[in-house]
Chains A and B, each alone.
Chain A
Amino acid sequence: MHPRNIRPWLARYGLLLALVGISLALSLAKPGFLTVSNLINVIRQISINGILAVGVTYVLLTGGVDLSLGSLVALSGVAAACWAHPGEYPVVVPVLIGVLAGALCGAANGAVITWGRVAPFIVTLGMMTVARGLALVISGGRPVSNLSRAFTTLGSADLLGIPVPALILAAVALASHLCLRHLRVGRYVYAVGGNEFAARASGINVVGVKLFAYTVCGACAGLAGVVLASRITTGQPNAGLAYELDAIAAVVIGGTSLSGGVGGVGGTLLGALLMGVINNGLDLLNVSSYYQQIVKGLIIVGAVWLDKRSTK
Chain B
Amino acid sequence: MGVLESADVVLEVANLGKSFPGVQALAGVFFRLRRGEVHAVVGENGAGKSTFMRLLAGLETPDDGEIRFRGRPVRLRHPHAARQLGVAMIHQELMPFLDLTVAENILMGRERTRGPFGWVDRAAQRREAQRLLRQLDVPVSPDCRMRELGVAEMQAVEIARAIGCRAEVMIMDEPTSALSERETRALFRVMGDLRRQGGAIIYISHRLEEVFELADTVTVLRDGRHVVTGPVTAFSRQSLIESMVGPPKPQIAEPRPRIAGVFGGHGRAAGEPDRAANARPAEDAAALVVRGLSRAGAFADVSFAVHRGEIVGLTGLVGAGRTELAQALFGLVEAEAGEVRVHGVAVRLRSPRQAIDHGIALLTEDRKRDGLVLTMSVMHNLTLSGLDRCSRGGWINGRREEAVADALIADFGVRIAHREQSTGTLSGGNQQKVALGKALLPDPDIVILDEPTRGIDVGAKAEIYGLIRRLAQSGKAILLNSSELPEVLALSDRILVMRQGRLSAALDPRRATPAEILHWAMPE
Contact = CB atoms under 8 A, between A and B. Distances in A.
Contacts of B391: 184
A195 B352 CA distance: 15
A8 B394 CA distance: 32
A201 B380 CA distance: 15
Contact of B353 (A185, A205, A262): A205
Given A184-B387, A187-B380, A199 B395 contact: no
A232 interface: no
A6 to B, nearest CB: 10
A16 to B, nearest CB: 19
Given A201-B370, A203-B352, A203-B353, A185 B375 contact: no
A205 B19 CA distance: 39
A181 to B, nearest CB: 8
A261 B376 CA distance: 8
Contact of B398 (A182, A193, A201, A203): A182
Across chains A and B, which 9 residue pairs bring their CB atoms closest together, nearest first? A197-B370, A194-B373, A194-B375, A261-B375, A202-B385, A203-B356, A203-B353, A195-B373, A202-B384
Q: Which of A190, A194, A203 has the most CB of B within 10 A?
A: A203
Interface of B: 19, 21-22, 330, 332, 351-353, 355-357, 362, 364, 369-376, 380, 384-385, 387-388, 391, 394-396, 398, 438, 442
Given A190-B380, A198-B370, 17 more contacts: A4-B19, A4-B21, A184-B388, A185-B394, A187-B384, A190-B375, A194-B373, A194-B375, A198-B364, A198-B369, A198-B372, A201-B330, A201-B370, A202-B385, A203-B352, A203-B356, A261-B373
Nearest to A192: B373
A188 to B, nearest CB: 8
B330 to A, nearest CB: 7
Contact of B395 (A183, A190, A194, A262): A183
Contacts of A261: 373, 375-376
Contact of A200 (B332, B376, B396): B332
Given A201-B364, A203-B353, A190 B370 contact: no
B398 to A, nearest CB: 7
Contacts of B394: 183-185
Contact of A183 (B19, B356, B357, B396): B396
Contacts of B442: 203
Interface in A186-221: 187, 190-191, 193-195, 197-205
Contacts of B375: 190, 193-195, 257, 261-262
A231 interface: no
A184 B387 CA distance: 7
A7 interface: yes
Contacts of A190: 373, 375-376, 380
A201 B371 contact: yes
A185 B362 CA distance: 22
A202 B376 contact: no
A71 B356 CA distance: 41
A190 B374 CA distance: 11
A191 B362 contact: no
A191 B438 contact: no
Interface of A: 4, 7-8, 182-185, 187, 190-191, 193-195, 197-205, 257, 261-262
A173 to B, nearest CB: 18
Contacts of A183: 394-396
Contacts of B21: 4, 7-8
A195 B372 contact: yes
Given A182-B398, A183-B396, A187-B396, A203 B373 contact: no
Contacts of B387: 184, 187
B91 to A, nearest CB: 19
A182 B396 contact: yes
A230 to B, nearest CB: 32
Contacts of B332: 200-201
A194 B372 CA distance: 9
Nearest to B362: A201
A263 B338 CA distance: 44
30 contacts: A4-B19, A4-B21, A7-B21, A8-B21, A8-B22, A182-B396, A183-B396, A184-B388, A184-B395, A184-B396, A185-B394, A187-B387, A190-B373, A190-B375, A190-B380, A191-B373, A191-B380, A194-B374, A195-B373, A198-B372, A200-B351, A201-B332, A202-B385, A203-B351, A203-B357, A203-B442, A205-B351, A257-B375, A261-B373, A261-B376
A75 B370 CA distance: 40
A112 B330 CA distance: 27
Contacts of A195: 369-370, 372-375
A4 B22 CA distance: 8
A182 B394 CA distance: 8
Nearest to B442: A203
Nearest to B369: A197
A198 B395 contact: no
Contacts of B22: 8
Contacts of B372: 195, 198
Contacts of B374: 194-195
B249 to A, nearest CB: 27
B396 A194 contact: no
Nearest to A186: B396
A184 B398 CA distance: 11
B373 A198 contact: yes
Contacts of B356: 203
B450 to A, nearest CB: 11
B385 A182 contact: no
A195 B19 CA distance: 27
B370 A191 contact: no
A280 B375 CA distance: 35
A199 B395 CA distance: 19
Nearest to B352: A203
A182 B438 CA distance: 19
A187 B332 CA distance: 21
A184 B332 CA distance: 22
Which of A182, A200, A201, A203 has most chain B Cβ within 10 Å? A201
B227 to A, nearest CB: 25
Nearest to B19: A4
B209 to A, nearest CB: 32
Contacts of A257: 375
Nearest to B377: A190
Contacts of A203: 351-353, 355-357, 385, 442
